[in-house]
Amino acid sequence: MPIHSLITKCLATTALCAAIFLNAAETIESMLTPPPEPLTPTRQEHLSARHTIEMLTRAHFNATTWKPALSSQWFAEYFDNLDPQRIYFLQSDIEQFRGFETTLWDPPHSRANVSFAFQVWDLYLKRLHDFALFCIAELDKPQDFSIPETILIDRKKEPRPETQAEQQGLWRKLVKNLILSEIMAEERRQAREQRGELTKADKRKPKRTEEETLQERKKHYARIYHSRVEYSRMEILEIFLNSLCNLFDPHTSFMPPMVKEDFDIHMSLSLQGIGATLSARDGYITIVDLIHGGPADRDGRLKKGDRITAVAQEGKDPVDVIDMPLNRAVSLIRGKKDTKVTLTILPEGSSDTMEITLVRDEIKLENDEAKADIQKIDIPSAKKPEETKQANVLIMRLPSFYSDFAAIQRGDKNYKSTTRDMRALLEKAQANGKKLDGVILDLRGNGGGSLEEAIRLTGLFFTEGPVVQVVSSSRIERRIDPDKDVVYKGPILVLVDRFSASATEILAAALQDYCRAIIVGTRTHGKGTVQNIIDLSRFSSNRSLKNNTDLGSLKLTIAKFYRINGGATQRKGVTPNIAIPALTDGIDDLGEESIPHALEWDEIKPMPFQYFLEVPTLLPKLQERSQKRMAESPEFQNLAKIIQFYHDIRSLKEIPLEINARRKYNEQLEQADKIFRDYRRSLKDKNADDDEDVPDGQKLPPVKDLTLEETLHILADYIELAQP
């Protein structure tokens, strides 16, 4: 998760300088031509809007009758989606459209006021044009970095500027911050050069004259405007309709035809690409997850929360993707196997950009498979505590819940699935009479996947019984473990974190409710909703559509998950039986509950089930031992200090624009960035030689996975206390 997840567009627009090159065929003047004639919606956009709203109000899990208040929220959300940092629109701009506020949908005639969206877009382009012209002119002025002023990191909750002078004051600071960011980046590069610590990225970055740098900055602002001029009608409609969809819940969205074709929102970018799941957040194309074994994951430099600000094909100029629709950015990033793409990113803990070049590849499913290894741990003897014996512990790592649906449909008996792979690993560990004393199921970072696999995998650890309840607007479906076979009967610890979500939470919740396993780590994400993809074209007759016009799709939330004890996993997730401190503790924007308009937690009638007695009997002693061990551990004491420092940096609300204060601020950011990167390396075995942040010829020292170490201690206690 980003160290500054709140550094949104106001910072992004000041940081994109390192990767913008000049293209003789595309001049600043040509990109700054005044806004074209306003676009008007066609029948296609009107029909897409109509069917989207009808499905939202009829089929969404929280379907509701249309009310003027919903129109007012939609009105405000659209302006905020166009201008999340409130730097482009004046308050008077909003007021001039106030007459549309409660009339964006006409229920009797089933018609959306799509024309409003295009009128606002036309004004938006004019404001962006003003912004680009002002910033380019400001770049020619001298800057005084001795003045003690600051710029807000996040303006989402700030009032919109009332006057043009107030607005231009904000724009002036953005320009100043851009220049200061470049100065700081060059100072750090020179310092590394003097110490002989230039990284691969440093050496690859070309040196430029002052005039070249000035032209690059100007072209950056011109591109921000020019990229919006190129938006299609459907791309404008996407922003407008998603402003409404997100009011129902954050996982419901309108997908234009190109999104449906180019982006698999659940699994990956593409079968051939960089292997990352992306999301559009506050004007950024943001890394949501990395596909295990994909090019980005193998490279090791990209991480969750990084924001992509520009994309360049091999041998071509970068394209600014700030505020670009997700589908368009994805189409730039994806590509054929063995081709190169260069991303300019705003990395964790930094206000300066860096470039990362990746070679696209085929994303292989086997890289996402379950893996396991046996580890021996010492256990005190029950009868003679001074003596120890070795126990065999299986550590199983599961990055996602996968299933080869195509192979299943073909009737292939050897289809790949999570449950089959996990069963095989468990059986192998116990083959030929080998004793397996304990299992750690590491589900950290597992964002979910196949519900069926989560249910079947849960069932490997008990004979039979319910696993999860799925509640839609019309029924309650109680899902039962279909297999009475038990593959492993011994102690189990399930390791989770704030990035464990959805299907992962179903498994963890069920094993916790049965008292079959002890959940260890941090509270999970809390994503407890179910989505379905609906083709909107099927609601229109052939006479309504010409030339097989595609109206797009709607990803619609249709159900919620509930534990067998009756509580939803939505928002609350799964709270561990034994908490282990982590860098994510106290970060309030990681979980589902922090996402605007997330569905609420509630509960339904519990299901009858029989729980195991061993865990409740041993748990108090295990908790006591773990807390005592961590309290006395110098490593965990140091971790507490690191967590506090990390959170202090994240809590900063302003960036200094005075040069000495900025140097001190950047030193803190660099420390926090190192903390996060070390934390990430502790979770994944990365080859330091592949990390371009590492000085050439050097290797990063190994970083301990303190959470896993403590989990092994807890399991050792469990095995010891369970001895007869």
Residue 283 predicted with pLDDT over 70: no
The per-residue pLDDT for 251 is 93
DSSP 365: G
Distances (CA, A) of 698 to 198, 200, 301, 693, 695: 11, 11, 16, 10, 6
Bridge partners of 373?
395
Contact 510, 458 (CB under 8 A): yes
Main-chain phi, psi angles of 455, to 5 degrees: -65, -45
**E strand spans, 204-290:** 253-255, 272-273, 276-281, 284-290
The per-residue pLDDT for 606 is 96
Asked if the structure places residue 717 within a domain, the reply is no
Tally of domains in the chain: 3
The per-residue pLDDT for 209 is 85
Asked if the structure places residue 469 within a domain, the reply is yes
Of 315, 334, 362, the last residue of a domain is: 362
352: left (phi > 0), else alpha (psi -120 to 50), else beta?
beta
Asked if the structure places residue 429 within a domain, the reply is yes
Residue 12 predicted with pLDDT over 50: no
Give yes or no: residues 30 and 55 share one domain. Answer: yes
Place of tokens 């979980």: 591
Token pair in block for residue 265:
């929102």
The per-residue pLDDT for 364 is 58
More confident residue, 685 or 284: 284
What is the three-class DSSP state of 290?
strand
Of 345, 362, 379, the last residue of a domain is: 362
The per-residue pLDDT for 701 is 67
The per-residue pLDDT for 97 is 98
Q: How confident is the model at residue 368 (pLDDT cuts 50, 70, 90)?
A: low
Average pLDDT of span 515-531: 96
Average pLDDT of span 258-278: 55
Give yes or no: residues 347 and 381 share one domain. Answer: no
Which residue from 512, 447, 124 is spatially nearest to 288, judged by alpha carbons? 447
Domain range spanning residue 472?
370-618
Q: Between the ranges 42-46, 211-215, 260-264, 321-325, where is the mean pLDDT highest?
A: 42-46
Place of tokens 């997850």: 289
Asked if the structure places residue 308 within a domain, the reply is yes
Q: Per residue in 575-616, pLDDT tens? A: 999 999 988 887 777 899 999 999 999 999 999 999 999 999
The mean pLDDT of the chain is 86
What is the three-class DSSP state of 649?
helix
How many CB atoms lie under 10 A from the CB of residue 430? 16
- Tabulate helix, strand, coil % of the chain (nearest 5): 40, 20, 40
Q: Per residue in 642-655, pLDDT tens? A: 888 888 887 889 99
pTM (predicted TM-score): 0.79
Asked if the structure places residue 314 within a domain, the reply is yes
Asked if the structure places residue 172 within a domain, the reply is yes
Q: How confident is the model at residue 259 (pLDDT cuts 50, 70, 90)?
A: low
Residue 134 predicted with pLDDT over 90: yes
Give yes or no: residues 555 and 571 share one domain. Answer: yes
Give yes or no: residues 129 and 252 share one domain. Answer: yes
Asked if the structure places residue 568 within a domain, the reply is yes
The per-residue pLDDT for 151 is 96
Terminal Cα-to-Cα distance of the chain (whole angstroms): 44
Q: Per residue in 160-205, pLDDT tens? A: 999 999 999 999 999 999 999 989 988 888 888 888 887 766 665 6
Give yes or no: residues 77 and 28 share one domain. Answer: yes
Q: Per residue in 14-41, pLDDT tens? A: 333 333 333 333 688 888 999 889 999 9
DSSP 189: H
Of 592, 618, 644, the last residue of a domain is: 618
DSSP 319: E
Asked if the structure places residue 626 within a domain, the reply is no
